[in-house]
Structure 1
Amino acid sequence: MPSFPTSRRSTARRTAAAAVLACGGLAAALLAPGTASASGSAPAAAGASARASGGTQAAYAAAAARHHVPESVLLAVGYLESRWVDHGGKPSTSGAYGPLGLTQVPGAKADAPGTHTLAAAARLTGASATRLRTDPDSNIDGGAALLASYARALGHGSLPTTLAAWYPAVAKYSGSATTAGAKAFADDAWNVLRSGAANTLPNGGSVALGAQPAAKADTAGLSALGLAGPATSTLKPECPANLDCNYVPAAYALNDPTDPTSYGDYDIADRPHGMKVTQIVLHDTEESYDNTLGTFTNPASYVSAHYVVRSGDGLVTQMVPTKDVAWQAGNWYTNMHSVGIEQEGYAVQGASWFTEEMYRSTSRLVHYLAAKYRVPLDRQHIIGHDNVPGPTSSSVAGMHWDPGPYWDWAHFMKLAGAPLPSHGPANGPLVTINPDFARNLQVTLDCENGNAPQPAQASSFVPLYTAPSDTAPLFADPGLHSSGTGTQCANDWGDKASSGQVFAVAARQGDWTAIWWDGSEVWFKNPAGAPVIRPARGAYITPKAGLASIPVYGRAYPEASAYPSDIPVQAVSAYSQYTVKAGQRYALGGAVPTDYYRSVTIDGTAPGDRTDVVGTTKYLQIQLGHRVAYVLASDVDVRFAP
């Protein structure tokens, strides 16, 4: 379980500074970035089976034939469980192993739904648990056996005779304890059947499922599963209709009955009236779903999020109304203007991959929230905790870095309805970072746990160097390093450009491209045969003529004259580590509100409490580096990249 600080409105999961500095000289010796190519996962041509290369496709065909499961159904389930990737025998954030997501959850009760499917598959096939965990073909066979056993049980000993009749068995395979969760999984499987899917695997092979647009589903068979119906809570979650959601209220209570300022875990507000919601922040929990709920229902934890997403089945639990301000981002200005979503998972330690159920649930939630609050579906507005700016110079090094380098931003944004550019030459003044996640195999170090090297695995970042050479030092972000070089530490966000982020090109040299980053010119490798960038359109800023440099801010607070006499003036202080120098260019995210929300008591009784102070100073948001930041509109010219 992560530790939490005693100060309000900040969290302590995945801070960076000390661990990054400890990583030191191991970086150069271990640096081994993999090649990358543009992401491409277009649906295959029509037909239930498919054209594909490699042995994985054959393993699905063999398992389907052996256990009399339609191959297309088995492929659809495998796609939802893992996108057909075996992950090297490592568990997911929900304790699932292999392409078919067979589960082995330590400490789970024997009758807990969906937590011991690996043992069940072992009984059905005779394969050992170790083999089912580590051998992809055996795992696929075990998943097929398990799916067939569910279908026989539901069919009183007989297997379904139509594709549609497999729907209830697929719903049971989800492991969800609720009808809504099981239905969401099976609906997704049938959507995959209808649209088709294809994926390139880390080993260079590929798997494909041809589209069956007319595939029907026996949804009436869900009732035979005997699962729980909708929750009976009087609190209705703010969720789209196609998402399995419940509501567990976060704590809103005093810790000291005599002190109205000693409360947790969020602040009452009335968004979007007054304060606008302009961003959605994704986190990972670094602990279990149950422990996270326990933390957020404890007023002494001084931390919360609006939503928590469970890994195993994608259940979404709302904990704070979106009109209110959750204490989730480590930057009060970001808290004021964002909705926070915690996802059960681990950035490095504890598990190696995020589940497809969680990707899909979070993406549906984000799409819904973005439409509700008119938040742009781009990577300056749909951000990770690792993209939140430190509010002040002293806080930059301690900012969190979840969901980390292994969160697949390209896949997530596609599911959310805003796919990243994946084709075309990146010859313009702006470029989008977009390596092929599956083939972008990067080695990082877990510098919070003894600098342990992590296996090369699919990653969503490209490393940044000080010169166009594989032997050049990694860039040392001045917010993390007072001297020396950057590192391969997973939490050294200062030398990692993330998928979906847009930057201005500073220079090009052969297979190398330079961008403006945190006030400096940095380089990354962009081979012609395996590009890691794609075109970008939009606006960018550059300092006005005659200015040698301009200040950069971590929050857009009002000028002193905007504050009424009963509200303390909040300092407007530029970063000491970063400036934007003459001639540099940074992608523009847009104008942002200039305000400060005063909320310091549980009942709103302090002078000026629950007041949003609005200023007249105009700020613009930019992609400064790995994190966003703010500049004064009066300091810059805005230009457009067609």
Structure 2
Amino acid sequence: MPMSLPRSAALIAAVALTTALATPAHADTAGQRQRDFTAAAKEFGVPENVLLGVSYLESRWDTNGGTPSTSAGYGPMHLTDVREAGVATTHHDEGTEDPRGDDARPALHPQAGPAAPPAGLQTVDEAAQLTGQPAETLRTDPAQNIRGGAALLAKYHNGRTGWYDAVAKYSGSTGDAAQAFADEVFETIRTGVARTTDDGQQVTLAAAPETTTPQRPGNPAGVECPRTVVCESVPAPYQELPNDDYGNHDLADRPASQKIDHIVIHDTEGYWDSVLKLAQDPTYVSWHYTIRSTDGLIAQHVPTKDVAWHAGNWYVNAKSVGIEHEGFAAKGTWYTEAMYRSSAKLVGYLARKYGIPLDRAHIIGHDNVPGTVPSTIKGMHWDPGPYWDWSHYFDLLGAPLGGFGLPGSSLVTIDPDFAKNQPAFTGCDSPGTPCAPRGSEAVVLHSEPSDASPLLKDIGLHTDGTPSTMDVADVGSRVATGQQYAVAEVRGDWTAIWYLGQKGWFHNPRGAKVAKPAIGWVVTPKPGLATVPVFGRAYPEPAAYPANVPVQAITPLPYTLSAGQKYSSAGTVGSEYYYAVTFAPADHVVVKGKLKYVQIQFGHRIAFVKADDVRIAPAF
């Protein structure tokens, strides 16, 4: 069923929308984007609300600093130019992470060829012919970009009675996926929306009576998806291979055998067609779903009852669902609204189905998954990266982040203004090169309350003891939107939190807060313990293993949680290990121990501590 906001959040949204609709659209220079939509709609004979609705589903009317989307689209109208955006890298090919993350099997380090972009990602040429503007202008000038989109819609309409088919064609898709895109556009027109764009433009799409009805049929039998999205089945092969090997996932019986605790958000680092071929390769790795950028189409590969090889940590894999999003963590790209909406609907459906809390301790990025042991930390992946808009994503989930605690709380939720928060990352295109200024969900931490002070040290990532860096892939001194941390100290406009055993400082001035007071639970070492070990997986005690299952080592990570420090708790979990190293599922065993762990937010990534080592207390 369609998701709805909590009553309080819905009321706030309704008031905000009503206020915005009551404000003259052209009151000041911040309304130039609105005037551009009006002018282009009139010039090409496109209803203004249709033009606004299409643009919102592509970009939310943003310019994104002239950088391409995850499917090579530019500007408010997402005119595609794959020649300029360039060829993608490949899925799971960077770093040394073993996607399966299980010591009981040889590590998997798959390689794939270059991910060629689809031929259809080149609408800027057609728009250039229709408008007389060069491709570069259409990519970089918002007004001309909107003209280009309007010209394409007018051409696709071609004198038809309604605009539904033209909107569907604009998605670049066909069939159910194109119709789903059109349905979402007209639903947006029906409800209306207003927002300030990433470059400060105030744009309003006034609510209008529904002008069309959904036209697409339901999803095929067997796929696990809500009825409000379009899904297809692209099965990953469960297949025997030579030398007693098999791929590319493990059969299981979740949640009867093991509770599903997490949903892991990934990006593909490759284009749709190439990535789906990898998902069907029995010698490769696997994940449960892939979501397409242009229209939000969802492909399911592995049943959610089974365990996919996606997160680089076997404990997390065995207790999670992995969702890949067509896109790139660092290549100057942004994620389309169509994909955000489709993904949020899928995650909401899965969270309800499996009782997964809608918070950032359970809806995590691949970059939040911990290394299993010290030697694997450096190779862990860091997608979907600092440009994934967690705040907007949780708004779509109906679970807004931040702002629920009292002033002075000892716990905070990281919640910067995405558009205004633009850390100076490097390495998006080449090592050391500054990334294009972009809105980000990431807040960088310093060792002292000063921007001039060094970043924190992450001895798991930087084993030589040097500080972390501003490289876009370096998560060693970075917190993310929605994550919660215990406050260690406040000095003026600077706040310190406990992070990897250190105080991490960030600028948090009144009137421009990047962290909000929170309510929750924190852990600290029990009295008498100077330090407690921190783990990347919650494995059972040795006595829990039956004779036919090798005991898995409980190996601490190279960090310390010391007396006096506090860390946000996501609750107590049981110890489990899923022994699955043979093709025949009859030989698989779920080992459950008496040992209990507490999941904590320890650094950028989650971690686990033994429940017997810590005291859990409320934070207000």
Displacement after TM superposition at 1:637 (Å): 1.4
Taking the aligned partners of 2:253 and 2:307, their CA distance within structure 1 comes to: 9
> Quick one: which amino acid aligns to residue 66 of structure 2?
G
Q: Report if the CA contact (8 A) 1:44-1:209 is conserved.
A: no
- Residue 43 (structure 1) aligned with residue 45 (structure 2): no
Return the letter of the residue paired with 1:192: T
Letter in 2 for 1:635: D
Q: Match for 1:78 among 55, 67, 91?
A: 55
Q: Residue 208 of structure 1: SS of its match in structure 2?
A: strand
**Is there any run of 5+ residues in structure 1 with no aligned partner, and where?**
1-38, 156-164, 224-228
Question: Match of 1:171?
Answer: 168
Deviations 1:408-440 (A, max 9, x none): 111111112211125887521111101111111
Of the three residues 258, 263, 282, the one matched with 1:275 is 258
Find the partner of 1:243 among 213, 218, 229: 229
The answer to whether the 8 A contact 2:26-2:32 is kept is no
SS in 2 for 1:419: coil
Unmatched tracts of structure 2, length 5 or more: 1-12, 88-117
Identify if the C-alpha distance between structure 1 residues 49 and 184 changes in structure 2 by more than 3 Å, giving closer, same or farther: farther
Deviations 1:256-307 (A, max 9, x none): 0xx33x1111001000012110000011111112221222221222x10001
- Contact 1:540-1:641 within 8 A present in 2 as well: yes
Corresponding residue of 1:5: none
Query: Compared with structure 1, are the counterparts of its residues 265 and 49 closer, same or farther at alpha carbon in structure 2 (3 Å cutoff)?
Result: farther
- C-alpha displacement of 1:376: 0.4
Alignment-derived partner of residue 252 in structure 1: 238
- Partner amino acid for 1:618? K
Q: What residue is the counterpart of 2:106 in the other structure? A: none
Paired residue for 1:444? 425
Written as runs of structure 1 = structure 2, the 5 A alignment for 1:44-443 is 44-45=18-19, 46=21, 50=25, 53-106=30-83, 115-155=121-161, 165-179=162-176, 181-212=177-208, 215-219=209-213, 236-256=222-242, 259-260=243-244, 262-301=245-284, 303-349=285-331, 351-421=332-402, 426-443=407-424
Give 1:200 shift: 2.6
Could you give the per-residue CA deviations for residues 83-113 of structure 1, whole angstroms, max 9, x where no partner exists?
Answer: 11112332211121110111234599xxx89
| TM-score of the aligned structures, taking structure 1 as reference length | 0.85
Tell me if the contact between 2:524 and 2:616 (Cα under 8 Å) persists in the aligned partners. yes
Instruction: Give the match for residue 599 of structure 2.
Output: 621
Q: In structure 2, what residue type is equivalent to 1:87?
A: N
Equivalent residue letter for 1:122: A
The 2-side partners of 1:40 and 1:346 are apart by 34
- 1:133-181 per-residue CA deviation (whole Å, 9 max, x = no partner) reads 11110001111222223233433xxxxxxxxx434432332222123x2
Which residue in the other structure is 2:6 paired with? none
Equivalent position of 2:563 in the other structure = 582
Q: Is the 8 A contact 1:49 1:209 kept in 2?
A: no
C-alpha deviations, 1:516-561, integer Å up to 9, x for none? 1111111001121211111211111111112111111111111011
Q: Distance in 2 between matches of 1:399 and 1:595?
A: 22
Of 479-488 and 143-152, the range deviating more from structure 2? 143-152
Distance in 1 separating the partners of 2:23 and 2:130 = 26
Q: CA RMSD in A?
A: 2.4
Cα contact 1:266–1:327 (8 A) shared by 2: yes
CA contact (8 A) 2:65 2:436 kept: no
**Contact kept in structure 1, 2:189 and 2:210, CA below 8 Å:** no
Provide, for residues 23-81 of structure 1, a one-character-per-residue CA deviation record: whole Å limited to 9, x for no partner: xxxxxxxxxxxxxxxx9994253469736624212211211222232323222221111
Match among 506, 509, 523 for residue 488 of structure 2: 506
Q: Which amino acid aligns with 1:100?
A: M
Contact 2:402 2:414 in 1 (8 A): no
1:640 aligns with 2:618: yes
Match of 2:115 in 1: none
Q: Which residue of 2 aligns with 1:488?
A: 470
Structure 1 residue aligned with 2:5: none
Does residue 542 in structure 1 map to residue 524 in structure 2? yes
Classify 1:625/1:144 alpha carbon distance in 2 versus 1 (closer, same or farther; 3 Å).
same
Q: Out of 489, 505, 513, which is 1:523 matched to? A: 505
- 3-state SS, counterpart of residue 476 of structure 2: helix
SS in structure 1 at match of 2:263: strand
**Post-superposition, which runs of at least 4 consecutive aligned residues in structure 1 deviate over 6 A?**
229-232
The alignment's TM-score, normalised by the length of structure 2, stands at 0.88
Inter-CA distance 308–48: structure 2 relative to 1 (3 Å threshold): farther
Deviation for aligned residue 1:357: 1.3
Q: CA deviation at 1:585?
A: 0.9
> Cα–Cα, structure 1 residues 424 and 372, in superposed 2: closer, same or farther, change >3 Å?
closer
Instruction: Please give the alpha-carbon distance, in whole angstroms, between the structure 2 residues aligned to 1:489 and 1:619.
Output: 33
Aligned-partner Cα distance in 1 for 2:71–2:521 = 41
Q: CA deviation at 1:570?
A: 0.6
Q: Which amino acid aligns with 2:251?
A: I
**8 Å Cα contact 1:246/1:316 also seen in 2:** yes
Amino acid at match of 2:546: P
User: Equivalent pairs: percent with the same residue?
Assistant: 50
Task: Name which structure has the greater RCO, CA cutoff 8 Å, separation 6+.
Answer: 1
Tell me the number of residue pairs that the alignment of Structure 1 and Structure 2 aligns.
572
2:198 is matched by which residue type in structure 1?
P
CA displacement 1:200-228 (0-9 Å, x = unmatched): 3333333233334xx212237x58xxxxx
**Cα distance in 1 for residues equivalent to 2:261 and 2:404:** 29
CA distance in 2, matches of 1:138, 1:48: 26
Within 5 Å, give how 1:3-42 maps onto structure 2: 42=16
Other structure's SS at 2:591 match: strand
Contact 1:41/1:198 (8 A) holds in 2: no
